[in-house]
Structures are given as structure tokens and as C-alpha cells.
Structure 1
Amino acid sequence: MDDNEDKAAQLEEYKAQLEVVDETLAATEEDDETAQQLRDARNDLVEVITLLEQSLKASKPVEPASSSSAAASTGAAASSSVLPFGAPGTGQSLAGDVAFPEQQAAPQPRGRGHELLGRTCEVSIQGSWFNAEIFSIRRDERGVDRAVLTVFGQNERKEVRLADVKMLRPLPPAQCLPGTKLQAISTLDGLWYDVVVEEHTDKGYLVRFTDYNTQDEVKFDQIRQKVAKSGIAAGKRAVKEVITPGGYVIPEHFLVKPEDTDEVKAKKKRKIHHVKNQQKDERLETEAAKKATGWQKFAQKNRKVGGMGKQSIFASSDNARIGHTGSAMFQNNSSSSSSGIRR
């Protein structure tokens, strides 16, 4: 019995893993490179589950049963068997095919999408892509999985079909070492910004936004390699900025709104403070550089004008001769030429 209990526990574990794979596969686009890997993993799990079920059935003692009960047990076994993803009767499709009602399996009262809760994703809303976080997942009366999202930069949640959500894949930690220049999502507006990784944390990474010199913690799936700024993708909307009376340039999404929570207000105020300090330092550095440049030009000009060496106050021209007063040596060319003039 111990062996059967172990097999039963393994069977439940594999079924739970299969459920996770199904959820991930349902949220993955067909042209994604990981879709085929997920399907292969699912088929492997199906084979293992089938073998375990057959092993458990073979180990159970055979009990006499009537023809009606045998037929019922046969039907139950057939309904409990696991079919490959996309096979008729599963209600699932491989390439976006519509699953007809007669093909759909009866909805089961079990939670779905546990592994997607809290994950970051992209979602298309009215033709525009937004970055969001999955808050919860439910199955509606039609058997369609729906996701409730917290859209970054918006103070309300939106519900969409889980199939319309595109999950963001985290980078390998080896590509996010401290000092690496990447891009990260700002949860204040959902846009991507250039950052520098400072350290790893339990939830993800501590990064510094290079444009505003602010520090924040982002999740593992809220960071990516740097891409060209001309691209048009989720989180590529232009950043609007406002100029304060003091002349500081502040991103519009940093401004505190009345509907913001106390936590968001405090976070925005800290970021505004950092931005103002950074711009103030830049102004001081610019003014100091201008003063230094002006002094250097002035010093160079004086060196060029004063190119002659220092002269004594007793110095005379090359044509002049100096001697003692009253002596014949105390004369110059001008005095000799005018010696005929009467005094």
C-alpha cells in the first residue's frame, strides 16, 4: 500500500504540473519559440500520468462487478484519462481553432493560473499595448479563462481574456549582473527606461534609472535588454514632461494626483525630489564649467599680450648708451646730432 500511496502522490503532483503547463501554454502565442517546448513537455507529462494510472489500476485487487457497474467504471476511466493538448474533447486548440461546445470538457471547480498571478505582461487595449500585472484569473460561465489586470499608470483594473495577454519573459540572472545597462519598467506609468543594475534582490533587481537618477526595485520579468528608441511596442509611448515654476523639468507621470494612494504619493514625491536635486547639480556643474572656461580664455589672452620679457626701469634701447653724469660717455645719437644747437 505504501507503494501505491507514493504513486498516487506522484500522480497528483504530475497532474498539478500539467495544469501549470496548460495555463502557460494558453497564455503563450503560437509563434512563440517556447510554445513547441511547452507542448513537448505536456506530451511527456501525459505519458507519465497515463503510465502511473495504468500501474495503479493494475495493482488494485479485482472485485466482481455487474455489467452495468463495469460499464460505468469503463466510462469513468475513459473520462479521467488525459488527452494530448488540442485533442478532441479537451476544449483546447493548438493553432487558434475554435473549440465547439460539444468538444469542451466540463469545467472543473479548481483554481487556474496560480503560476501567473503577480506576473508582468503586455495587453492590447483599444489598439494600444500596455504593460500590466496579473491580479487574478477566473473562468467565466462560458468556460473562457479571463485575467484581471492592474495596468501600470492607471488607477483601475481591467479584465481581458487570458489569451489576449502576452507574458514578459525574465532575463537570465547572468545577463543582469550589477553594473549592467538594461531597460526596466516604471510602475508609475508602465514605460520602459534605461537603467543600471545595482544589486539583486529577492523579488528581482535594484536598479537606478539613468535619465532621472532615481532608484527603484523591479521584478525579474520587468527588465529587458536595451532596444532602439524608435521601435513601436508596448511601453514605447512618448514621455510627457512639465516645467515647474523653478525651471525644473519633471515627467508628467511623476505629478501627484488626488486619487493616488498614500504610498504612490510618497513614491512620486521621492522621485521628484531626486530629479530636482539631479538637475540642480547639473546646473551648478554647468555654471562652474562656464566660469572655468571664461577664466582660461582670459588667462590665455593675457599670456599672448604680455609675451615680452620683464625689463628693468633702467633699461634703454639698443641705440642708447648710459654713462656717468657729466662725462663724455653720457650721450646718445640724438645729442650728438644736435650738438651744434646753442643752449
Structure 2
Amino acid sequence: MELGLYTFADVGTNPVTGEKIGHPQRLRNLMEEIRLADEAGLDVFGLGEHHRPDYASSAPATALAGAATITKNIRLTSAVTVLSSEDPVRAYQQFATLDGLSGGRAEIMVGRGSFIESFPLFGYDLNDYDALFEEKLALLMRLNESERADWPGGPHTTAIQGLGIYPRPEQESLPLWIAVGGTPQSAIRAGVLGLPMALAIIGGEPARFAPLFELHRRAAAQAGHDPFKLKRSINVHGFVAETSQKAADVFYPAQAEVMNRIGRERGWPPTSRAKFDAESGPTGAQFVGGPAELTDKILKHHEIFGFDRFLIQMAIGVLDHADLMKAIEIFGTKVAPEVRKAVG
């Protein structure tokens, strides 16, 4: 069982204190957070990719490379790399470089992206949303298998004839995950390709997504892969503090500001403290509480899913940096050891 954190490095104004955090300061804070996560004994830190003014994480590999030089054990992964609008060769080279800098701790988590800004930014047509991902993922997997690439090319990629792709990673190959947002087709695709799957859960009851894990296992087995060798993760929103009340009071204002802002773009109904508190209950999507409550909720959902990895996004919106650092410390030193002991 691996436990860790992920973030998109939000910037903006703290809704409680009014403090403004810009891109440079957020990136410096991020280095402190990753270093503390490593020191606290967490297993994984993931950094997402967005190309919007409210995030500082448009280049995850670069930021993770900075973190590689100040950490010792924690695995460093994108969460996610928007492969549809990325060059697979450059993505592979960047994460192979990260792997060398970190001593073999790099991973790539790829997805189609939940925002669309990168498509016009890099000259791609949204009508090719899924086709871009499929073709580029196939190329990325080919690059990961062999030092010299032979690739026929396609509508969205250039042909490569026996060219070397460098540097090579310290690991035999880069661990490559597919991130899915809840669609059965995405879970099946990950299984057919024999790739680990990370399932993002940000609303509703997490238990209703459990059938996607079974779809992933079944598709992997039918494609000739050993499903028990493929890792599975759930990636959730949440926060931990000394008490459940403090966790909710710290996390809710920033989380609500982000979800309502995005919700206005997407037509979601506004959130409220009552809704948030309900979703923070034992069966809800918010993993918020004191150490004991968060431990119990993780273990309860481990019984439902049987996941190998649990990642929590605590840095949603602009939180007080000291509160976030304290939450990372608690998660690493109090929650993670209890979860690992219970899971065995």
C-alpha cells in the first residue's frame, strides 16, 4: 500500500486571510511541501498539468526535477501529463531525465485532461481529443520499450526510423499509469494495454466507482495480462488536521472557492458547507478529518476497492502554507503508518 499527495499548485487569493500567492511563491512553497512529504515517510508525490492562470503547474517534469534534488525516497509522478497535447518523445525524455536526477524515482501518469486550454495553445483540434491520446500513448509505450524507436507515424505523430531516444531512465522502464475520470471505456483501455490505473474521485459516493476496478481487471485478463500485477490507485480530495472540525474549517473555504469557480464554467450547482459536511461523512467523496477519521475512511474504501495506492489532494485553492505543511506532517507520520499496519 502506497500513500501520497498530489496537487496542481493553485495560485490566487486565500479566501480567509486575503493573502495573494503568485506563481513564483507557489512553486517555492511546493518544493517545501514535497521535501516534507519525503521526510514524513510518504511514498508518492504527484503534480498535475494545467495551462490556466490559477495554477503554477504547466511544466510538471521541471518542477519535479527541482524536487528530485532535495528528496531521497519519495516517488515523483505527473498527475497528470496531458498527453493529447504533448509530444511523446519530449515527455519521455523529460521524465527519463527526472528518473536519472532522482535515482530511479520517476513515474508518468497520463490522461486526456480535464481542461482544454492546452489544445489551442499547442495547435491541436479538440475534435481529435480521443484519437490524439490513443496514438500518442501507443508511441510513448513504444519509446519506453526500446532505446531505438521504430514508429510508422500517423495522423498525429511523425514517423521515426531507428532513432535513439535519450537519455534512458535509471529504471529498466518508466512506470506508466493511465488516469481515468470515471468512464468505463477508459478503465477498459488501461486494462487492455496492461497499464496501471489511477481513478480520480471528486464527487458522489466513491463506492459507485468500484466496478471500474473490476472492468480494468477483466480487460487486462482478457488481453493476456496478469491483472494482479497491475497497480490501481484512487485519487481523492481531502485534508487532515489535529481534529475533524479543524480539518473541515481549514479545507472548506479554499475547496469551495475552487469548485464554485470551476462549477460556474461547467454548469455545476454551487456547493455549500452543508453539502461539504455531508460529503465528508463515511461514504462521501471528501476525505476530511482528524488522523483517526481519515485512517478509518481510507481503510473502509480499501475494503471496497482493494487499491494499491491512495493519493489525496489537500492543496486545493489557496490555503495557509503552515496549515498545509502541518497536514502533510500528520498524514505522513500519523495516518500513513496506521493504514500500512492495518493493511499489512
TM-score w.r.t. structure 1 length?
A: 0.21
* Higher RCO (CA 8 Å, separation ≥ 6 residues): 2
Structure with the largest fraction of helix: 2
TM-score w.r.t. structure 2 length?
A: 0.21
Q: Which has the larger radius of gyration?
A: 1
